[in-house]
Amino acid sequence: MSITLGIFVVILLITLGITYWAAKRTATTSDFYAADSQLTASQNGFALAGDWCSAAAFLGFTGLTALYGMDGAFYALGPLVAFCTVLFLIAEPMRNTGKYTLGDIIRSRMQTRTSLLAAIAGTVVVNFAYLMPQMAGAGVLVRLLTGISYDWAVIFVGVSMIVYVAFGGMLATTWVQIVKAVLMLSAGAIILVMILAQVHFNPLTLFADAEQKYTAKYLLPVNYLKNPFDQISLGLGYVLGLAGLPHVMTRFYTVPDARTARRSVVWVMFLAGAFFAGTTLFGLAAANLVGQDVIRAADRGGNLTLPLLAQYLGGGKGTFGGDLMLGFVAAVAVATILAVVSALTLSTSGAIAHDFYANWVKRGQVDGKREVWIARIAAVVIGLLAIALGILAQGVNVAVLVILAICVAASANFPVLILSLFWRRFNTGGVVGGMAVGLISSVVLAMIGPAMRGADALWPLVNPTVVSLPLGFLGAYLGTLLAGRDPENERRFDAFLLQVHTGVVPK
């Protein structure tokens, strides 16, 4: 405990130092939302890795693999493949078309107030659905790792993220993410080397030992996700949902041009991808070395697998090496949560201050200094709301919200985004139709599924993406047809295409 706290205090001091440094450099809207678009490809690549790997990735994938074998490896693969979609279709057009938010793209394509409201709704719903389980997870995790109470843990995480975002904006958020990514990758590399040393640098031994200990069934799919369609939903949710997550996509505004945006995706694919691949080996090693019984006894969901494995590799419980490794991994886990919740808070404050206040209420006629003020206040309010929701969520099953966030991102935000960029006839009716149908079908299907209602589920899938995603596209299509042709919007599409593909706005 004391080593964990010690390491964590050091990380906290570093992040506060970063925030102090960043606050002095954050004055304009461009500073606050986009770190003045001055990051390099490698910086943004590390920050993307810090942003995208939530605690669910850092702790969850290892735990799932340890307890359920191959299904854990599936969970880890999806978030890498997701970046193919982002790289090929989204990152560069996004950098070329928008300024600070997802709403910017919809607004510059449609130039209607209604479509902007729909984009704001998509951003706020996805961000809060993502933020709430992160806060609840932070409460549980920090309590388990440090011994402080759930409520205080949530308050501590919430206040930290408010400080980072309100004072340091995107610059502080970015560097908190970079620090976290470096720590996470270092922890992963150390653990990997220690595991490989145990099996004489032959990873095949990990599989053979696992098979011997838990039978061949352990290395097969469908141990965790029993319904085949849930497997497919998971896959679709990942590959198309990432592109609809505003808190990750706004990272592309922090680089100067499309080429840097592209190169930062390649960076994150190698950095995060290597870590994801590592979690599969960590999980197998944990099952072999620590044992599923011990893992389950510590946390039924397997979320403490990686800390336990680190402790074992360091020399075991009670040894200095064991405590040190446990403390390090535990501190990185907390840093992971801080990096993700900060990005969510920042992106939501952008939707409120930039999309809603500056562009919807004030129709773009607002002083930059004032907008930054509003964004800072919004960050504080969002943070306080997140703390309250996190405390209320104690003991409530918030797993459904994690699914919901990625499901809404894939089913509502993604269709609207991709059709805005690539379909000439797409119009405001389509934006509203896609957003509404994608959002409502995701929420309703998730609520009546087994994640919420257990055995009383009205339909079989935990993750409804396989149905709600086509429905979202259908909503967007029908909305477009129902709204009728909009010749002005279709004519403007040529000029929009110039901007999408070159980044230059034709006058």
Partner 1 sequence: MRNGTSLEAAHASVRQLIAEKLKFLVPMTIIFMVGYIGLTVLAGFAKDLMAVKVIGSVNLGFVLIALNYVLSWVLAIVYGRVAGNIFDPLAAKAAAEIKAGH
Residue 248 contacts partner 1 per CB under 8 A? no
- Give yes or no for a contact between 475 and 434, defined as CB atoms under 8 angstroms apart: yes
In Å, what is the CA distance from 453 to each residue of 43, 124, 448? 43, 25, 6
- CB-CB neighbours of 124 under 10 Å: 18
Residue 95 contacts partner 1 per CB under 8 A? no
- Give yes or no for a contact between 379 and 346, defined as CB atoms under 8 angstroms apart: yes
In 3-state terms, what secondary structure has residue 448?
Answer: coil
Helix, strand and coil content of the chain, in percent to the nearest 5, comes to: 85, 0, 15
Taking the C-alpha atoms of residue 179 and residue 165, their distance in angstroms, rounded to an integer, is 16
* Nearer to partner 1 (CB atom), residue 320 or residue 422: 422
DSSP collapsed to 3 states, 154-178:
HHHHHHHHHHHHHHHHHHHHHHHHH
Residue 83 contacts partner 1 per CB under 8 A? yes
Q: Residue written as tokens 């990990």?
A: 206
* Nearer to partner 1 (CB atom), residue 441 or residue 465: 465
Residue 381 contacts partner 1 per CB under 8 A? no
Residue 196 contacts partner 1 per CB under 8 A? no
Which range touches partner 1 (CB under 8 A), out of 10-18, 218-226, 295-303, 356-364? 218-226
User: Measured on CA atoms in the order 188, 191, 196, 197, is the torsion positive or negative?
Assistant: positive
Residue 221 contacts partner 1 per CB under 8 A? yes
Q: Minimal CA–CA distance to 347: which of 180, 149, 98, 109?
A: 98
Query: Cα-Cα-Cα-Cα dihedral of 361, 443, 343, 77, to 10°?
Result: -140
Q: Judged by CB under 8 A, how many residues of this single chain contact partner 1? A: 56
Taking the C-alpha atoms of residue 77 and residue 65, their distance in angstroms, rounded to an integer, is 12
* Nearer to partner 1 (CB atom), residue 8 or residue 275: 275
Contacting partner 1 (CB under 8 A), which of 143, 263, 424, 492? 263
Residue 77 contacts partner 1 per CB under 8 A? yes
Q: Encoding tokens for residue 244?
A: 């609809």
Contacting partner 1 (CB under 8 A), which of 17, 228, 316, 321? 228
Taking the complex as a whole, how short is the minimal distance between the CB of residue 264 and partner 1, in angstroms?
11
In Å, what is the CA distance from 312 to each residue of 201, 208, 317, 325, 327? 18, 20, 7, 9, 12
* Nearer to partner 1 (CB atom), residue 221 or residue 315: 221
Contacting partner 1 (CB under 8 A), which of 234, 309, 324, 409? 234
Residue 80 contacts partner 1 per CB under 8 A? yes
Taking the C-alpha atoms of residue 377 and residue 371, their distance in angstroms, rounded to an integer, is 10
Which range touches partner 1 (CB under 8 A), out of 110-118, 123-131, 259-267, 378-386? 259-267
Residue 266 contacts partner 1 per CB under 8 A? yes
Contacting partner 1 (CB under 8 A), which of 97, 231, 305, 427? 231
Q: Encoding tokens for residue 246?
A: 């505003």
Query: Cα-Cα-Cα-Cα dihedral of 230, 464, 102, 491, to 10°?
Result: 110
Residue 460 contacts partner 1 per CB under 8 A? no
Residue 232 contacts partner 1 per CB under 8 A? yes
Residue 461 contacts partner 1 per CB under 8 A? no
Site for partner 1 in 270-309 (CB under 8 A): 270, 273, 277, 280
Q: Residue written as tokens 């990735």?
A: 57
* Nearer to partner 1 (CB atom), residue 429 or residue 464: 464
Taking the C-alpha atoms of residue 194 and residue 282, their distance in angstroms, rounded to an integer, is 10
Taking the C-alpha atoms of residue 61 and residue 18, their distance in angstroms, rounded to an integer, is 29
Taking the complex as a whole, how short is the minimal distance between the CB of residue 442 and partner 1, in angstroms?
19
Q: How many residues does the chain have?
A: 507
Taking the complex as a whole, how short is the minimal distance between the CB of residue 495 and partner 1, in angstroms?
9
Buried b (16+ CB within 10 A) or exposed e, 289-317: bbbbeebbebbeebbbbbbbbbbbbbeee
Residue 204 contacts partner 1 per CB under 8 A? yes
Residue 503 contacts partner 1 per CB under 8 A? yes
Residue 68 contacts partner 1 per CB under 8 A? no
Contacting partner 1 (CB under 8 A), which of 14, 16, 89, 440? 89
Contacting partner 1 (CB under 8 A), which of 21, 229, 423, 493? 229
In terms of Cβ atoms closer than 10 Å to its own Cβ (0-12, 13-18, 19+), residue 465 is buried
* Nearer to partner 1 (CB atom), residue 38 or residue 499: 499
Taking the complex as a whole, how short is the minimal distance between the CB of residue 189 and partner 1, in angstroms?
17
Residue 88 contacts partner 1 per CB under 8 A? yes
In 329-462, which ranges are E strands?
none
* Nearer to partner 1 (CB atom), residue 139 or residue 415: 415
Q: Which residues bind partner 1 (CB under 8 A)?
A: 70-71, 73-74, 77-78, 80-81, 83-85, 87-89, 92, 204, 207-208, 210-211, 216, 219-222, 225, 227-232, 234-236, 239, 258-259, 262-263, 265-266, 269-270, 273, 277, 280, 494, 497-498, 501-504, 506-507
